[in-house]
Amino acid sequence: MTLLLWSIPHWLLAVLLCLMLRNRAYKACPWFFAYVGFGVAADVARLVTHNHPHPYFATYWITEAGYDVLGILVMYELIRMVLRNLIRTWWGRLIFPAALLVGALLSGARAHAAPPQFSGILYYIVVGEIAVRCVQVLVFVVTVAIVLIFGLRWRQYPFGIATGFGLYSVIALLMTMKFSDFGTSFKFLWGRTLIVAYSFAVLIWIWFFSAPQKPDPELPALTPEAWKEYQAMLDQYLKFLRRFR
């Protein structure tokens, strides 16, 4: 049963990769396509080294670092796709750097208040992973705000990607924080919870990528009233994140 549960997201990712190839979604979302392809390759590498503790340890943490890097690149891609009209302005170009800064500050504050039970490069990978999760949840909040404010359709690739990451990242953020606090003693519950959450995220992506994308929605100009509404939603999100510091 444990092996079956562990393999579920691997097969789901393979299905997602095939769907993206069939619908040529790699043209619309190249970095997300790279993320999915990397995920399939990482799963194979972990499976091959599963019965060898030292190679598996190295493979696991190397691929975790790869997930972090690609996760940030996917968030950059989503910001450009969802806010393509806004990033033409000088302040619109600051949205992604601001999201990175907020994620880094929240992760740094968490690490300072409760240092992860790791040392060396593993410490930075765990802290970096928490920062990436914060950025992913923040980008999800931005996309939700855009959909609600402008009445856009959800059945679009960027919104599907953001929804999957949003669901997974909220759970992963909380579980990773607990893992960083308790170390390997929390590994059993941490691992299985993330597998279930990630499987649901991939199912969301499969649903969004099961059909070719419709024409991209046009994002109208952001009025002062809409901007105030978005700022209010962002303030509520930041207050929520501060509870976990």
Q: Who has greater pLDDT, 93 or 136?
A: 136
Give me the phi and psi of 213, to 5 degrees please: -75, 140
pLDDT of 224 reads: 59
User: 125 and 64 in contact (C-beta within 8 Å)?
Assistant: yes
Q: Domain residue spans in the chain?
A: 2-242
**What whole-number percentage of the chain has pLDDT above 90?**
21
Reply yes or no on whether the pLDDT at 4 is more than 90: no
Q: What is the CB neighbour count within 10 angstroms for residue 231?
A: 11
Give the mean model confidence (pLDDT) for residues 95-124: 79
Instruction: For residue 147, count other CB atoms closer than 10 A to its CB.
Output: 18
User: Measuring CA to CA, how many Å separate 68 from each of 14, 81, 192, 226, 230?
Assistant: 20, 20, 20, 32, 27
Mean pLDDT is lowest, of 7-21, 122-136, 195-209, for: 122-136
Q: Regarding the domain delimited by 2-242, which CATH topology (the fold level of the hierarchy) does it fall under?
A: Rhopdopsin 7-helix transmembrane proteins (1.20.1070)
Q: Where are the beta strands (DSSP E) in 16-160?
A: none
130 CB neighbour count, 10 Å cutoff: 26
Residue 105 has pLDDT above 90, yes or no: no
Q: What is the mean pLDDT of the chain?
A: 78
pTM of the model: 0.77
